[in-house]
RNA sequence: GCCGGAGUGGUGAAAUUGGCAGACGCGCCGGACUCAAAAUCCGGUGGGGCUUAAACCCCGUGGGGGUUCGAUUCCCCCCUCCGGCACCA
C-alpha cells in the first residue's frame, strides 16, 4: 500500500506489505485468545476453599431454548465484563454457568417432532455453549450443571423432602390454569393476558389436588429482609413488596343466624364497624357452597353463583366492569349492636384475598357505596373530617376524621377508634388485630413429564409417604407417551408407577407429578461450589465462604418469581442450619431488553438479530463493544446495525495505533521527542480518562466507559497528528492503559495488543490501571465566568487560584467588562477550579 | 385506580454533589484520496437572529409555576409513554 497523505502514518518508517493499514485481524485474535484462555485455565477456580479474595459473579442460568440472540448476549457480555474487571482488581472470581434445563418447550418439541426432551435439550445446550464461547464470555465449565441431570435433580428432590419434613410442603386442593386445547395445566408465567402462550386459547380455572410450598410462612421475613437488599434495584424491591402485599387490619367474626360457625372477615378499617350495613361474600365462599349443597339458598342466588363461577372458569382473567350481586337470604349479626345485616354474594369480592368475605361500609368505601346505591341498601355515616363535608351521599368518603353514630366511640379520631374498636371486640372474643398478606403459597406440582419427579409414593394402607433419601433420585423414565391428556405423561409408564411403600413395604403407587422448574432454579447457585458432590446438595463451608452471590445479573422478568423463591429457599436452609446467610444475592443487576423495530425480539415477529453473522463479519469484540455502548445497561435499547460499524471502526483505529507503535523495534531511533507541553497535556488527558472509565465501570456505566476509550484513541490520534510524532513513551503508556481498560470489554483484541506491547502474561490477569495523580496535576485551570448566572467568558488562571485572583483575572476580561459595564459585583460565587459568577446590579 | 421508571438534537445517548446542556457514536452535509465506487482520512452539524465573513446575541432538556447567583438536576401542579399490581376489603 502506498504512503498516503495520512499524517498519522508518517512516522511509521518503511512498511513492507503494510499488514496494518485498515486491517484488523479479529479472527486470528479471537482464535489465539481463546486458545490461551483455555490452556492457561484463566477462568477456573480450582479450589473454592483456597482461593483468595473470593468474588461470586453469576449470570442467571438460561433455559436452553435454542439459539441466542443479541438481547441474550447483553446479559452474558455484561457478566463477563464484570467478572473480568473483578479478576483484574485482584479477586478470585467464580463465574460458573449451567442450564435451567427442565421445562415445557422440550416436551412440546417431543410432542411435535418425536424428539426425546433430553436429546432436544442436550442439542440446544451444545449450540448455546458454542455461542457463549464465540462471544468470548468465559465461564468455569468444569462447574457446569444442568437441572435435568439426575445428579442435580436428586438434590432438588432432597430439597422437597426437607421442606416436607418441616411441614413446608403439603398437598391441597388448588385452582390451576387449564388450557382446554392442550389438555394441560399451565404455569402462571405461561398464561399471557388470560390466554395460553402456545395455542392462544382462553385459560380456564380448575380445582385440582396439588402440591404447595408454604412460602407464606416466610411472608413477613421476605418482606422485612428487603431492607437488607440495599444493592438491589429499587424497582425490584418495590415489586416484591407489592407482591407480598402486607396490610394491617383486623380479623372480625359476625355470627350467622342459624349457624354455629361465624362469618369471618378481614378489614383494614375496623373503625368503620358501626357503618357496616350488609355483608358480601365471594361466589366460592364455603358458606354459599354449603347452602347450595343443602339446597337452602334462594334459587336466584344459586343461579347467580353458578353463572359467576362458570364465567370465572371460562376466563378467570376477565374483569367484570359492573358490580353485581344477589341477596342470599342469610343474616349476619353485628358483633356490637346485634343489628341484622343481610349477606349478599357479589362479583366484587374474591375468594383469593383475605377470607373471601367483607363487611360492607358504603359511606366510607367506594366499592360498597356503588353496590349499596345500585341495590338500595342502607348507608350509615360513621365519621366526619375536621374540615369539609365528609360523606355527601354522592360518593364514599374514605379519608379520616372523628367518629359519629358509633355509640361510645363517638368523637374519637379515626386512628384511635381503630384501636379502641378492635380492643373492645377482642374482649368479647369476636375480633383481633391481624396482618394479612396478598402472597399465596407456591403451587409447585405440574402434570408434566420434563421436570423433577416429586419424591412421594401413595400407599393404599399408609397413605402419602415420602421416598427415603437413600432411594433418591427418583429417576425420570425415558419410555413415556407424550400425547397431551391432561394427566402426567408419567402415568403411561407402568414400570415407573410401581413402587414400594417405604413404611409397610407393600405395593404402592408413585406420585406422577413433577416439580415446577422454579424449584430447580431456587437453589442452583449453591450447587456451583461443588457441582459433583455426591453425598450432599452442597458443602456448607464452601457455600458460606462464597455466598451471598456478590453480583447477580439477569433480566427483570424474574423480579418476582425466581428471585422471591430463591430468597425463600435460602431462608429455609438457614433455619435448617445449612447456610449462614439470609439472602442469596447481595447485589442484583437487571439489564434492559434489546429491541428491534421497537419490539422485543421473537421468532414470531421475525425481528431476531442473531449474533453469529455479526461476529463472523465484524468480530466478537465489535459485537461486545456495541452491545455495551448501545445505552445504559439497565435500560431497554434499540438495536441498530449501523451502530455496530462505529464499534468496528473504533477497534480498527485502536489496532492500527498498536501496530504502528510495535512495528518498529523499540531501540530504533526516531524523531525527537515531542515538546514537553503537548506531551504533558496529552498525559493529563489520558489519565483523566483513566479515572473516568474507572468510575464508569464501578457504576456499571459501560456505555460511557466505551465512550471514554474512544476518546482515548481520539486523543492518541490527535497527539500524533499534532506533530508530537516522537512522543513514543507517552504513546506507549497510553496504549498500555487503554489496553488494560479495554480488556474486560473487548478481551480478544486487548489480549493480542497486550502481547504485541511486549507483555508475557495474559491481560486478563494484568492489574486494573489507576490514574497517576501526578499526571492529573494542572498548572493552569480553565474557569467559566458567569455574569448574573449566564456564561459570558472563559479565563485561564494558575491552578489553585484563589477567589481574589480569579476575580481579578475575570475583571480584566473584555467580555466580562462588557456585561458588567463597570458595575462592581454585588456578590461573587466562586467554585474553585470550575466557575466564577459575578452578580451585578442590572 | 395504586406503585415504580422515563420524557434532552435527525437518531442511540452524555452531563457522578445544583455549576459551560448535547460528551461519545450513528446519520447527514462539505472536502481529500479514486477513472469511479467502497473503505479510509479531514472539517461541519440543536433552533433562531445578525453578518460578506469572523465575531456576537437570543431561545432551548414534555408543559406550567416555584426555590436559587445559577436548575436536565431540588419543590409543587399538569401531560404523555413504558413496566408492575389491581374490585386487595
Report the SS3 class of residue A587. strand
Confidence band of A208 (pLDDT split at 50, 70, 90): confident
pLDDT at A93 over 90: yes
- CB distance A593 to A606 below 8 Å: no
Strand B-contacting residues in A 552-571, CB cut-off 7 angstroms:
556, 560
Distance in Å from B74's C1' to A403's CA comes to: 40
Calculate what percentage of chain A has a pLDDT beyond 90: 51
* Least confident segment among A281-295, A705-719, A790-804: A790-804
Nucleotide nearest to A645 (CA to C1'): B26
Smallest CA–C1' distance to B71, residue: A789
Confidence band of A675 (pLDDT split at 50, 70, 90): low
Calculate what percentage of chain A has a pLDDT beyond 70: 92
pLDDT at A608 over 90: no
What is the spatial distance between Cα A50 and Cα A802, in angstroms, rounded to a whole number? 54
pLDDT value, residue A7: 27
Distance in Å from B67's C1' to A396's CA comes to: 38
Smallest CA–C1' distance to B85, residue: A242
**The C-alpha cell of A14 is what?**
518503511
pLDDT at A421 over 60: yes
pLDDT value, residue A828: 86
- CB distance A738 to A650 below 8 Å: no
pLDDT at A589 over 90: yes
Strand B-contacting residues in A 658-687, CB cut-off 7 angstroms:
none
pLDDT value, residue A625: 95
Q: Which of A287-296, A299-308, A570-579 has the highest mean pLDDT?
A: A570-579
Is A829 (CB) below 7 Å from strand B?
yes
Please compute the mean of the pLDDT values over residues A111-134 and round it to a whole number. Answer: 91
Smallest CA–C1' distance to B25, residue: A646
pLDDT at A44 over 90: yes
Confidence band of A47 (pLDDT split at 50, 70, 90): very high
Distance in Å from B58's C1' to A797's CA comes to: 29
Smallest CA–C1' distance to B19, residue: A835
Please compute the mean of the pLDDT values over residues A299-325 and round it to a whole number. Answer: 75
Nucleotide nearest to A711 (CA to C1'): B24
Distance in Å from B77's C1' to A555's CA comes to: 35
Distance in Å from B43's C1' to A76's CA comes to: 39
Nucleotide nearest to A653 (CA to C1'): B40
Is A438 (CB) below 7 Å from strand B?
yes
What is the spatial distance between Cα A752 and Cα A746, in angstroms, rounded to a whole number? 11
- CB distance A540 to A477 below 8 Å: no
pLDDT value, residue A660: 82
Is A652 (CB) below 7 Å from strand B?
yes
pLDDT at A198 over 80: no
Please compute the mean of the pLDDT values over residues A427-450 and round it to a whole number. Answer: 89
What is the spatial distance between Cα A378 and Cα A646, in angstroms, rounded to a whole number? 71
Distance in Å from B74's C1' to A234's CA comes to: 20
Q: What is the crossing angle of helices A561-575 and A234-244, to 10°? A: 70
Which comes out higher in pLDDT, residue A317 or A664?
A: A664
How many alpha carbons fall within 13 Å on the CB side of residue A335? 25
CA distances A698 to A509, A692, A787, Å, are 56, 10, 37
Nucleotide nearest to A370 (CA to C1'): B87
- CB distance A487 to A496 below 8 Å: no
Please compute the mean of the pLDDT values over residues A247-253 and round it to a whole number. Answer: 92
Strand B-contacting residues in A 712-751, CB cut-off 7 angstroms:
714, 717, 721
pLDDT value, residue A380: 93
Tell me which DSSP letter residue A125 carries: H
Distance in Å from B34's C1' to A653's CA comes to: 22
Report the SS3 class of residue A797. strand
pLDDT at A315 over 70: no
Is A80 (CB) below 7 Å from strand B?
no
Nucleotide nearest to A789 (CA to C1'): B70
Confidence band of A722 (pLDDT split at 50, 70, 90): low
Confidence band of A20 (pLDDT split at 50, 70, 90): very low
Predicted TM-score (pTM) of this structure:
0.90
pLDDT value, residue A114: 81
Report the SS3 class of residue A172. strand
Distance in Å from B82's C1' to A605's CA comes to: 20
What are the backbone angles phi and psi of residue A827, rounded to the nearest 5°?
Answer: -155, 145
Confidence band of A18 (pLDDT split at 50, 70, 90): very low
pLDDT at A77 over 80: yes
Average confidence score pLDDT of chain A? 86
Distance in Å from B47's C1' to A634's CA comes to: 32
Residue in this structure with the C-alpha cell 524523531, named with its chain if needed: A671
What is the spatial distance between Cα A657 and Cα A669, in angstroms, rounded to a whole number? 18
Is A193 (CB) below 7 Å from strand B?
no
What tens digit of pLDDT does each residue of A784-837 get?
888 888 888 888 888 878 888 888 888 887 778 777 777 788 888 888 888 888
Strand order in the sheet with A54-59: A92-94, A54-59, A551-555, A588-591
DSSP assignment of A425-493 equals HHHHTSEEEEEEES---EE-EES-SSSPBP-EEEETTTEEEEPPGGG---PPPS-------SS-GGGG-
Strand B-contacting residues in A 253-282, CB cut-off 7 angstroms:
266-269, 282
Strand stretches in A85-236, DSSP E: 92-94, 98-99, 145-146, 169-179, 184-186, 191-192, 195-196, 204-213
pLDDT value, residue A95: 96
- CB distance A116 to A125 below 8 Å: no
- CB distance A783 to A807 below 8 Å: no
What tens digit of pLDDT does each residue of A366-395 get?
899 999 999 999 999 999 888 777 888 888
Confidence band of A762 (pLDDT split at 50, 70, 90): very high
What is the spatial distance between Cα A415 and Cα A818, in angstroms, rounded to a whole number? 65
Is A462 (CB) below 7 Å from strand B?
no
Residue in this structure with the C-alpha cell 490452556, named with its chain if needed: A39
- CB distance A379 to A369 below 8 Å: yes
pLDDT at A13 over 80: no
Strand B-contacting residues in A 417-436, CB cut-off 7 angstroms:
none
What tens digit of pLDDT does each residue of A145-176 get?
999 999 999 999 999 999 999 999 999 887 77
How many other C-beta atoms lie within 10 A of the C-beta of residue A329? Answer: 12
Strand B-contacting residues in A 615-644, CB cut-off 7 angstroms:
629-632, 635-638, 640, 642-643
Residues for chain A: how many in total?
842
Strand B-contacting residues in A 302-331, CB cut-off 7 angstroms:
319-324
Is A89 (CB) below 7 Å from strand B?
no
pLDDT value, residue A676: 63
Smallest CA–C1' distance to B15, residue: A704
pLDDT value, residue A193: 65
Tell me what percent of chain A is helix, strand and coil, each rounded to the nearest 5: 40, 20, 40
pLDDT value, residue A197: 64
Strand B-contacting residues in A 213-252, CB cut-off 7 angstroms:
234-235, 238-239, 242-243, 245, 247, 249
pLDDT at A361 over 50: yes
pLDDT value, residue A667: 54
CA distances A436 to A254, A282, A746, Å, are 18, 18, 51
pLDDT value, residue A19: 31
pLDDT value, residue A14: 27
What is the spatial distance between Cα A343 and Cα A212, in angstroms, rounded to a whole number? 32
Strand B-contacting residues in A 360-389, CB cut-off 7 angstroms:
365, 367
Nucleotide nearest to A831 (CA to C1'): B19
Nucleotide nearest to A560 (CA to C1'): B84
pLDDT at A16 over 50: no
Protein-covered nucleotides of chain B (CB closer than 7 Å) are 3-5, 11-16, 19-21, 23-27, 32-33, 39-42, 56-58, 69-71, 82-85, 87-89
Nucleotide nearest to A238 (CA to C1'): B4
Nucleotide nearest to A272 (CA to C1'): B89
Which residues in A106-129 are b (16+ Cβ under 10 Å) and which e?
A: bbbbbbeeeebbbebbbebbeebb
What are the backbone angles phi and psi of residue A549, rounded to the nearest 5°?
Answer: -50, 125
pLDDT at A4 over 50: no
- ipTM of the assembly? 0.93
Strand stretches in A717-834, DSSP E: 780-787, 790-798, 827-831
What is the spatial distance between Cα A163 and Cα A346, in angstroms, rounded to a whole number? 38
Nucleotide nearest to A353 (CA to C1'): B88
Please compute the mean of the pLDDT values over residues A225-242 and round it to a whole number. Answer: 89
Confidence band of A36 (pLDDT split at 50, 70, 90): very high
pLDDT value, residue A573: 97
Tell me which DSSP letter residue A50 carries: T
pLDDT value, residue A674: 53
What tens digit of pLDDT does each residue of A474-491 get?
999 988 887 767 678 888
Amino acid at each position: 500500500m502506498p504512503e498516503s497523505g495520512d499524517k498519522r502514518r508518517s512516522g511509521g518508517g518503511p512498511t513492507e506489505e503494510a499488514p496494518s493499514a485498515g486491517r484488523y485481524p479479529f479472527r486470528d485474535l479471537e482464535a489465539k485468545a481463546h486458545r490461551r484462555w483455555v490452556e492457561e485455565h484463566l477462568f477456573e477456580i480450582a479450589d473454592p476453599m483456597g482461593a483468595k479474595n473470593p468474588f461470586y459473579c453469576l449470570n442467571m442460568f438460561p433455559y436452553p431454548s435454542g439459539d441466542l440472540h443479541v438481547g441474550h448476549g447483553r446479559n452474558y457480555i455484561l457478566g463477563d465484563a464484570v467478572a473480568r474487571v473483578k479478576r483484574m482488581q485482584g479477586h478470585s472470581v467464580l463465574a460458573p454457568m449451567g442450564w435451567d434445563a427442565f421445562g415445557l418447550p422440550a416436551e412440546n418439541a417431543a410432542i411435535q417432532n418425536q424428539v426425546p426432551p433430553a436429546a432436544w435439550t442436550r442439542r440446544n445446550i451444545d449450540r448455546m455453549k458454542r455461542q457463549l464461547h464465540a462471544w468470548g464470555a468465559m465461564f468455569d465449565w468444569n462447574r457446569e450443571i444442568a437441572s435435568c441431570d439426575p445428579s442435580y435433580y436428586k438434590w432438588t428432590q432432597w430439597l422437597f423432602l426437607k421442606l416436607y419434613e418441616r411441614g413446608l410442603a403439603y398437598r391441597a386442593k388448588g385452582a390451576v390454569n387449564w388450557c382446554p386445547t392442550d389438555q394441560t395445566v399451565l404455569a402462571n408465567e405461561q398464561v399471557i393476558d388470560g390466554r395460553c402462550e402456545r395455542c392462544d386459547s382462553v385459560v380456564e380455572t380448575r380445582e385440582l389436588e396439588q402440591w404447595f410450598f408454604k412460602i407464606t410462612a416466610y411472608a413477613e421475613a421476605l418482606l422485612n429482609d428487603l431492607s437488607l437488599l440495599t444493592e438491589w434495584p429499587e424497582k425490584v424491591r418495590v415489586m416484591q413488596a407489592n407482591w407480598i402485599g402486607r396490610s394491617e387490619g383486623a380479623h372480625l367474626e359476625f355470627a350467622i343466624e342459624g349457624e354455629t360457625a361465624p362469618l369471618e372477615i378481614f378489614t383494614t378499617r375496623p373503625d368503620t364497624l358501626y357503618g357496616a350495613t350488609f355483608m358480601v361474600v365471594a361466589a366460592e365462599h364455603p358458606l354459599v357452597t354449603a347452602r347450595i349443597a343443602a339446597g337452602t339458598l334462594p334459587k336466584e342466588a344459586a343461579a347467580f353463583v353458578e353463572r359467576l363461577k362458570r364465567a370465572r372458569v371460562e376466563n378467570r382473567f376477565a374483569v367484570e366492569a359492573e358490580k353485581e350481586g344477589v341477596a342470599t337470604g342469610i343474616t349476619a349479626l353485628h358483633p356490637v349492636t346485634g343489628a341484622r345485616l343481610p349477606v349478599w354474594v357479589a362479583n366484587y369480592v374474591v375468594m383469593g384475598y383475605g377470607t373471601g368475605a367483607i363487611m360492607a361500609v358504603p359511606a366510607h368505601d367506594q366499592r360498597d357505596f356503588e353496590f349499596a346505591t345500585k341495590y338500595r341498601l342502607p348507608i350509615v355515616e360513621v365519621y366526619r373530617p375536621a374540615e369539609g363535608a365528609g360523606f355527601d351521599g354522592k360518593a364514599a368518603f374514605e379519608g379520616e376524621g372523628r367518629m359519629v353514630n358509633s355509640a361510645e366511640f363517638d368523637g374519637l379520631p379515626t386512628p384511635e377508634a381503630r384501636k379502641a374498636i378492635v380492643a373492645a371486640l377482642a374482649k368479647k372474643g369476636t375480633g383481633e388485630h391481624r396482618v394479612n398478606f396478598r402472597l399465596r403459597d407456591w403451587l409447585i406440582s405440574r402434570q408434566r413429564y420434563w421436570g423433577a419427579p416429586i419424591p412421594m409414593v401413595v400407599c393404599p394402607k399408609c397413605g402419602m409417604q415420602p421416598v427415603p433419601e437413600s432411594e433418591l433420585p427418583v429417576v425420570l423414565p425415558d419410555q413415556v407417551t407424550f400425547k397431551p391428556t391432561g394427566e402426567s405423561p408419567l402415568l403411561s409408564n407402568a414400570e415407573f408407577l410401581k413402587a414400594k411403600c417405604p413404611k409397610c413395604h407393600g405395593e404402592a403407587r408413585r406420585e406422577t407429578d413433577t416439580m415446577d422448574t422454579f424449584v430447580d432454579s431456587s437453589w442452583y447457585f449453591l450447587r456451583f461450589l461443588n457441582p459433583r458432590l455426591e453425598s450432599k446438595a452442597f458443602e456448607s463451608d464452601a457455600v458460606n465462604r462464597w455466598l451471598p452471590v456478590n453480583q447477580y445479573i439477569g433480566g427483570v422478568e424474574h423480579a418476582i418469581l425466581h428471585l422471591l423463591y430463591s430468597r425463600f429457599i435460602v431462608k429455609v436452609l438457614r433455619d435448617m442450619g445449612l447456610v449462614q446467610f439470609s439472602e442469596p444475592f447481595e447485589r442484583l443487576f437487571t439489564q434492559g431488553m434489546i429491541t428491534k423495530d421497537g419490539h422485543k425480539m421473537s421468532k414470531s415477529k421475525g425481528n431476531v438479530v442473531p449474533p453469529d453473522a455479526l461476529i463472523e463479519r465484524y468480530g466478537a469484540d465489535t459485537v461486545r463493544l456495541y452491545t455495551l455502548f448501545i445505552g445504559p445497561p439497565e435500560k431497554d435499547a434499540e438495536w441498530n446495525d449501523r451502530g455496530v460499524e462505529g464499534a468496528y471502526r473504533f477497534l480498527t483505529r485502536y489496532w492500527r495505533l498498536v501496530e504502528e507503535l510495535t512495528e518498529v523495534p523499540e531501540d530504533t531511533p526516531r524523531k525527537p521527542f515531542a515538546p514537553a507541553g503537548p506531551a504533558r497535556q496529552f498525559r493529563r488527558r489520558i489519565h483523566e480518562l483513566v479515572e473516568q472509565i474507572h468510575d464508569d465501570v464501578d457504576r456499571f456505566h459501560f456505555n460511557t466507559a466505551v465512550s471514554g476509550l474512544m476518546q482515548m484513541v481520539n486523543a492518541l490520534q490527535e497527539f500524533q497528528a499534532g506533530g508530537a510524532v516522537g512522543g513514543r513513551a507517552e504513546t506507549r503508556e497510553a496504549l498500555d492503559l487503554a489496553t488494560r481498560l479495554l480488556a474486560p470489554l473487548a478481551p480478544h483484541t486487548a489480549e493480542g495488543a497486550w502481547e504485541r506491547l511486549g507483555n508475557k502474561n495474559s491481560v486478563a490477569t494484568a492489574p486494573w490501571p489507576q490514574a497517576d495523580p501526578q499526571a492529573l496535576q494542572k498548572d493552569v485551570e480553565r474557569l467559566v465566568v458567569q455574569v448574573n448566572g449566564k456564561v459570558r467568558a472563559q479565563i485561564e488562571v494558575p491552578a489553585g487560584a484563589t477567589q481574589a485572583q480569579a476575580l481579578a483575572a475575570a475583571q480584566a476580561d473584555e467580555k466580562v467588562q462588557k456585561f458588567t459595564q463597570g458595575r462592581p459585583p454585588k456578590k461573587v460565587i466562586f467554585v474553585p477550579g470550575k466557575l466564577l459568577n459575578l452578580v451585578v446590579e442590572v
